[in-house]
Structure 1
C-alpha cells in the first residue's frame, strides 16, 4: 500500500486557502496495524513561490502566511514522532524513516563553480566525503528521531545522494530542455541503492 502525503501532517483546504497544519495528523489511522511503515518527507518543504503547495502555516491556533521552512519542518516532524510513539504498536510494526535526499543546484558545493547545476554531470563526486555544506534537513531528522521512545530505523541516504550529482534527470525529465530537474532521481540509480539498504535492514 502506498499513501501519498508529502508533509505527513495535514494539508487542509479552507476558505482562506491551503493551510499546512503543523500540529495535526488526522489520517494516521491508515498507518495502523501494518507490518512495516516507511515514512519520507522533506522534498516539498523546500519549495517556495509558485512551487509551494500551501498558502498558510498553522501552529496550534496561530495561522501565518510565512515562516522559516526548516522550523516548520521540525515542528511537523516532531508532531509525527509523537504520533508514532502514541499510536504504533512496535511489537507488531517495524518503522523506517527515509532520510533527506540531496539536490544539486549549485556547482560551487562540489568545487565546480562553472557547473550549471546537474546539467552534463556524468560522474559522481569522488571520495568518501561531500565538499559542500551539511544538509540542513539532516540534523533535524536525527534530532527528532532521537526523542522517539521506540526504535525507528533511519535509512540514512543523505551522504549517498550528495555524492551523486550525476544521478538526476537533468534536462531529460520529459518537459523539454528548458526544464532542468536536479532534485528527483533517475531509475536505475541512487534509488536502487536505497532499496538495497532497506532490504538489508529488513533481514
Structure 2
C-alpha cells in the first residue's frame, strides 16, 4: 500500500494541471456511434477541469440537506473540479436541453435507496440548470419532477430492497421472492434500479426482523446470498414484463463507501474526514463482492439490462463524500452518500452517454 501511495503522490501534481482536450458536444458523440465506434466508458481516470462543476448547487433549492456540502460549510472546493475521463474516448458534456428534447413526453424513474435519491437529485439539478421551469410533487414513496416545457417526468420511487417488507403480527418480514411497488414501474420509459446499501445493516438499523423465501422463515442469513435471491426475483420481473422496444432498463452499480481510511494508507484518518483529493493509485480499486453478485445475475437475464458500472471509478473518490458536512454535521459522519455537485453527476453523464448509444 505504501508503494501505491507514493505513486499517487508522484502522479498527483501532473493530474492537477492537466485539462484534456475536453468533452465533445453531443453531436460529435452521436456521430461516433453512427460509425459504430465504441470504447469502455468506465475505464479511465479523474482529471482536473477548471470548468467544473456542471452546475451551482446553491441554485438547487430542493437539494437535500444531506448532500448540500457547500451550503453546510464545507470549506474546500477542489473536489468539485474533477471530471471522469475514459482512457480511449471522451464522455459528452451533459446537455440538459438535448436530454429533455430526446425524452419529450417520456417518464424516467429511479428505484432504490438513498443512493438513488442522490443520483435522482443530481439529474434534477443538471436539468434544472438548463430549464428552471418545473413542477414537483410527492405522493407516498414516489417523488416526481416534471419539466413542463418538454413534459418530461423524472421520478424517484424509494424502495431500498426492491423486494417487499411485510408487517406481520410477529414482526417485519423481508420477502425475498416478492417485489415491492412493482406496479408503479409499468409504463415507464427508462428505469434505473439500485439496491445494496441497506442489506448490510444489523441491529437497531436493520429494518426487518425475519427473512422469508418461499415458506422458509429465518432470523437472518448470509447477506450476499439474500441479496442475490432478491435480485433474481427482480430479474424475473424484468424478463417477464419489460418490452425492450418501449423501456430501457439500467442497474446503478454499487456505490462504495470510504469508512476505513487505512484502505488508502491514511492509518491515522477518521473515515473520510478531511479528505480533499481522489485516490490516484491505480491498484486501489478492488472488486466489490456485491457488484460481482449483480454482474452474475445480469448475465442470466433474457432481457437487456445495462449496468452503470460506477463502482471502481467511485472507489477513487474518497474526497467527495459529505463527511461532517452532511445532515449530522460534526455529530455525524457520512462517507456513504455524495456531495452535490459531485460524483453522481458523473453517473448521470454516463447514463446520458449510455442512453444515446442504446
TM-score (norm 1): 0.95
What's the C-alpha RMSD, in Å, of the aligned pairs? 1.3
Q: Deviations over 1:135-188 (max 9, x none)?
A: 111100100110111110100110011100111111111323131111111101
Residue 44 of structure 1 is matched in structure 2 by 198
Residue 138 of structure 1 is matched in structure 2 by 291
Corresponding position: 1:24 with 2:214: no
Q: Deviations over 1:17-75 (max 9, x none)?
A: 11110011153121122211111111111111111211111111111111111111111
Pick from 151, 154, 166: which aligns with 1:12?
166
3-state SS, counterpart of residue 212 of structure 2: strand
Q: Deviations over 1:96-127 (max 9, x none)?
A: 11010000111222222222110111111014
Pick from 50, 54, 64: which aligns with 2:208?
54
3-state SS, counterpart of residue 24 of structure 1: strand
Pick from 332, 335, 356: which aligns with 1:179?
332
Q: Unaligned regions of 5+ residues in structure 2, if any?
A: 1-154
Q: Looking at CA atoms only, which structure, 1 or 2, has the larger radius of gyration?
A: 2
* Number of residues of Structure 1 aligned to a counterpart in Structure 2: 202
3-state SS, counterpart of residue 306 of structure 2: strand
Residue 127 of structure 2 is matched in structure 1 by none
CA contact (8 A) 1:129 1:159 kept: no
- 1: CA distance between counterparts of 2:338 and 2:242? 31
- 2: CA distance between counterparts of 1:26 and 1:135? 26
TM-score (norm 2): 0.55
Corresponding position: 1:147 with 2:300: yes
Q: Relative to structure 1, is the Cα distance of residues 70 and 86 closer, same or farther in structure 2, using a 3 angstrom cutoff?
A: same
- 1: CA distance between counterparts of 2:237 and 2:339? 33
CA contact (8 A) 1:130 1:159 kept: no
Answer 1 or 2: which has greater helix percent. 2
Q: Unaligned regions of 5+ residues in structure 1, if any?
A: none
Residue 128 of structure 2 is matched in structure 1 by none
Residue 93 of structure 2 is matched in structure 1 by none
- 1: CA distance between counterparts of 2:258 and 2:196? 15
Corresponding position: 1:66 with 2:220: yes
3-state SS, counterpart of residue 80 of structure 1: helix
- 1: CA distance between counterparts of 2:327 and 2:177? 37
